[in-house]
């Protein structure tokens, strides 16, 4: 059970990327009169202090030994639980020697939330190549978090901004692989997990789901592909039998404009770019990546490590700031929600 009044646990991410500086910028938000939920970092405080000095950010760093210390000092300093690096950090240059610290930061954040000492996990961007070189054998954050959570069913990626929420059924696959990988049962799973999360974490009592078609014009009754008939419609029929308000498959080319968005709370999309192109077009700097279907809340900025601008202070912190605020909102809703029958 998530508790209110707890700080958010923010992970290190790739230390050679922009995670450190956008975290400093997120803390600075409150100095500009813009409220931020209290958070603490699982990072190397010496690295963060050096980075703040290098960029010229006036961010006092305060090392803490426990999350319980974070809230009291957050207004005056950025609380950091020491997560020591093994090698010096050069912005923009990957060093696999630091991969262990990156993974340890994620592990500790999850354990602190599981122990009821932090409200949610917010993850800074990782660089998979650096982790792979150190023996990390997961495709990314989502799969690793599922292992830490010890769940048998696959968690779901949901991308959110104030104007739109989207869920891709197939994610990091080449398009030529994503189409044959699309399965009715995966659409059903995505729909069930999404509807449950919208109730418990987003405060939507009766979620409205839209389902995007795969083919142009939703397949034109099978004349432009029959995946809508064979794969997508049976999933919609089952979700409707489950009691979920859902419509589709709808042609994707008319599904994301402003008037259409008023008719649903989320779109279940068939592949990666079908989901990410509209949300990044609508709100490039403010989109948030949320993993739903986990026993804890996890949010992340919807961008990568940006090695090319790391250490320059040019990174935009908007997505991380949005992720911190959304994670806090979700944690409060989950903590306050009255138990109700799960959608299954």
The sign of the torsion formed by the CA atoms of 317, 138, 213, 239 equals negative
- Within-domain flag for 287: no
Whether residues 237 and 315 share a domain: the answer is: no
**Do 247 and 171 fall within a single domain?**
yes
Q: How far apart are CA 67 and CA 41, in angstroms?
A: 9
Number of compact structural domains in the chain: 2
Spell out a b/e string for 247-275, using b for 16 or more CB atoms within 10 Å of the CB, else e. ebbbbbeebbeeeebeebbbbbbbbbebb
Q: What is the CATH number of the domain that holds 54?
A: 3.40.718.10
Residues 130, 34, single domain; the answer is yes
Q: Which of 237, 260, 282 is the last residue of a domain?
A: 282
Residues 237 and 219 both lie in one domain: yes
Are residues 145 and 1 part of one domain? yes
In a domain, 158, yes or no: no
Claim to verify: residue 212 and residue 260 sit in the same structural domain: yes
273 and 321 part of one domain: no
Do 342 and 311 share a domain, yes or no?
yes
Print the domain residue range for 202.
163-282
Residue 288: inside a domain? no
**Residue segments in the chain with a per-residue pLDDT below the cut of 70:** 1-4, 337-344
Q: Which of 296, 288, 289 is nearest to 107 (CA)?
A: 296
Domain assignment of residue 290, yes or no: no
- Please tell me whether residues 111 and 6 are part of one structural domain: yes
Four-residue CA torsion sign, 332, 334, 339, 343: positive
Same domain, 273 and 214: yes
In this prediction the pTM is: 0.91
| pLDDT 10s digits, 271-326 | 999 999 999 999 999 999 999 999 999 999 999 999 999 999 999 999 999 999 99
Same domain, 132 and 249: no
Supply the pLDDT for residue 256. Answer: 97
Tokens of 251: 């042609």
At residue 234, the pLDDT reads 98
Of 234, 250, 282, which residue constitutes the final position of a domain? Answer: 282
- 63 and 169 both lie in a single domain: no
Structural domain ending residue among the three candidates 256, 282, 308: 282
């Amino acid at each position: 059970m998530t508790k209110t009044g707890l700080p958010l646990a923010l992970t290190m991410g790739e230390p050679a990327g922009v995670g450190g500086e956008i975290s400093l910028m997120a803390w600075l938000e409150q100095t500009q009169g813009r409220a931020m939920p209290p958070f603490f970092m699982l990072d190397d405080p010496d690295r963060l202090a050096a980075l703040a000095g290098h960029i010229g950010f006036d961010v006092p760093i305060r090392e803490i030994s426990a999350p319980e210390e974070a809230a009291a000092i957050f207004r005056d300093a950025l609380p950091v639980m020491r997560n020591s690096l093994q090698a010096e950090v050069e912005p923009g240059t990957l060093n696999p020697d630091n991969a262990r610290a990156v993974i340890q930061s994620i592990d500790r954040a999850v354990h602190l939330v599981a122990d009821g000492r932090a409200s949610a996990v917010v993850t800074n961007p990782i660089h998979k190549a650096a982790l792979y070189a150190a023996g990390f054998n997961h495709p990314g954050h989502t799969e690793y978090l599922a292992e830490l959570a010890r769940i048998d069913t696959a968690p779901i990626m949901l991308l959110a901004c104030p104007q739109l929420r989207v869920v891709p059924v197939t994610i990091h696959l080449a398009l030529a692989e994503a189409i044959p990988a699309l399965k009715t049962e995966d659409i059903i799973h995505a729909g069930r997990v999404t509807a449950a999360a919208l109730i418990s974490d987003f405060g939507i009592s009766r979620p409205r789901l839209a389902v995007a078609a795969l083919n142009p014009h939703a397949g034109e009754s099978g004349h432009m592909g029959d995946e809508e008939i064979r794969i997508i419609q049976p999933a919609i029929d089952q979700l409707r039998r489950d009691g979920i308000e859902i419509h589709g498959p709808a042609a994707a080319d008319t599904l994301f404009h402003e008037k259409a968005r008023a008719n649903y709370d989320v779109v279940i999309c068939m592949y990666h770019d079908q989901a990410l192109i509209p949300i990044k077009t609508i709100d490039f700097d403010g989109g948030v990546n949320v993993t739903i279907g986990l026993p804890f809340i996890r949010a992340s900025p919807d961008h990568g490590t940006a090695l090319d601008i790391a250490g320059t202070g040019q990174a935009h912190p908007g997505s991380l700031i949005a992720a911190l605020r959304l994670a806090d909102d979700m944690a409060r809703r989950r903590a306050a929600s009255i138990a109700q029958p799960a959608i299954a």
